Amino acid sequence: MRFALMLLAVASVLFGADPGRPKVRAVTAFINIDSKNYEAEIQKTMQFLNGARDAYLAAGWEVETVRIVTQPFAKYVGGMKRDEAIAFFKKLDALSAKLKYSGNIGTAMVGDADDASQLGMLATVLATTHLNASLNVAGEDGVHWRAIREAAKVIKATADRSPHGGGNFNFAVTAMVKPYGPFYPGAYHLGTGQTFAVGLEGANVVGDVFAKYHEPREAEKQLAAALSKHLPSSSRNPSFGGTSYWVKGPAKLDADELAPAAQAKGVLINPGRVCFGGANGPRNYLRLAFSSIDEKKIEPGIKLLSELIKNPS
């Protein structure tokens, strides 16, 4: 991650002068460990994280935390007895306190058929350490009903084993969350590690936007007008949802194919298929966010989408 640190230092200098910049909530590293050599791997990772934090601080950014997420914990304690695994996690927790990072042992279940035999032990770990973990209950294959029941058991057991149920503050039940997100407790990864992500706390940025526009309905009106002009067949009855528009496109539209084509032209959309239950949701829905878009760019963006839908390459 040494080259990445050089890029991070350059980026922090380039953007550090902006008085409206957000706070760096977390610099999160994703690594793989084993039960024998974990300390050396974490020490090495902390060298990178401390360097990343120093680069941001030197450029005038505020940095709240550094974090380390391992692969799913069952991968490295699966062969241990229950007491051995709990003792290992207490050592991992002590190391996080010593090196001053926030630890996460990954997700307990990704698919609905995953082994749930370690979940009773996980509740004890959550109740007796400061380590974070999560459990996934839905993905593009639909709702994981068994995982939901197992998650409820973990929450109940953790509440029973920790003062005032406080251990559950370090546990997340997640749905449709992608790997490598920097925010806790739902951060996880399933790959080879050696990756990091930066999480920004942007409430001040949102405040600046609303200070300028005052009323999000103004941006909504801009988007509605552009949709009606350029995509009349797609936006006859669009629905407003917070700071985004939910759009039903022509029946033949595949928003999953439209998304990369639009991105290549500088327009970002969210395909709507993942918002439907099951693996075979309709593909002609999409979501358009507008709260942070310059109103002068809304109509040109919609016009470009219209052209891509009418003339797909």
How far are the Cα atoms of 24, 52, 108, 197 from residue 200, in angstroms, in the given order? 5, 14, 26, 10
What pLDDT is recorded for position 23?
Answer: 83
Rounded to the nearest 5°, which phi and psi values hold at 288? Answer: -120, 115
pTM: 0.65
- Above 70 in pLDDT, residue 42? yes
How confident is the prediction for the chain on average, in pLDDT? 83
Q: What's the rounded mean pLDDT across residues 219-228?
A: 61
Tell me if residue 192 falls in helix, strand or coil: coil
Give the confidence band of 14 by pLDDT, cuts at 50, 70, 90: very low
Q: Which CATH architecture has domain 2-201?
A: Alpha-Beta Barrel (3.20)
Q: Which phi and psi (to 5°) does residue 222 adopt?
A: -60, -45
- What are phi and psi for residue 63, nearest 5 degrees? -120, 125
Tell me the three state secondary structure of residue 78: coil
Residue 35 has a pLDDT of 93
CATH 3.90.1150.10 boundaries in the chain? 209-310
Residue 240 pLDDT exceeds 50: no
Q: Which of 171-180, 234-243, 258-267 has the lowest mean pLDDT?
A: 234-243
- The reported pLDDT for the residue numbered 19 is 53
Residues spanned by CATH 3.20.70.20 within the chain? 2-201
Separate counts of helices (H) and strands (E) for the chain: 10, 12
The Cα-based distances of 112 to 139, 143, 156, 191, 212 in angstroms read 10, 9, 19, 19, 46
Instruction: List, for residues 144-164, the tens digit of each pLDDT value.
Output: 999 999 999 999 999 999 988
Q: What is the pLDDT of residues 197-207, one digit of tens each?
A: 998 886 665 55
Give me 206's structure tokens: 């949102």
CA–CA separation, 91 and 239 (whole Å): 51
Domain spanning 209-310: CATH superfamily: Aspartate Aminotransferase, domain 1 (3.90.1150.10)
- CA dist., res. 195 & res. 95, Å (int): 21
pLDDT of 231 strictly over 50: yes
